């Protein structure tokens, strides 16, 4: 019985070692991908903030021009 069990146990242990190695590799790849995506996300957030600021500036400029036009029309 022990002679039958030991090879099975050895096979299972080898399978577990292979699985563990693969999982470590997968984890490392996912960790790297997560870091890359986090950086990309931060970049996109900063770009969105910049676009928002530019839009606010454009809106303020347009509102100022509109007010000037309205005051010129009222003066006429």
Domain boundaries, given as residue ranges, for the chain: 1-75
pLDDT of res. 3: 80
| pLDDT exceeds 90 at position 61 | yes
Residue range 16-21: average pLDDT?
98
Rounded mean pLDDT, 13-37: 98
Sign of the Cα torsion 29, 33, 35, 36 reads positive
pLDDT at 24: 98
What is the band of 76 on the pLDDT scale with cuts at 50, 70, 90? confident
């Amino acid at each position: 019985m022990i002679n039958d069990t030991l090879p099975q146990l050895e096979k299972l242990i080898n399978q577990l070692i292979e699985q563990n190695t693969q999982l470590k590799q997968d984890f490392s790849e996912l960790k790297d991908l997560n870091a890359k995506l986090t950086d990309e996300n931060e970049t996109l957030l900063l770009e969105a903030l910049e676009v928002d600021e530019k839009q606010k500036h454009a809106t303020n400029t347009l509102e100022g021009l509109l007010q000037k036009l309205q005051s010129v029309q009222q003066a006429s």
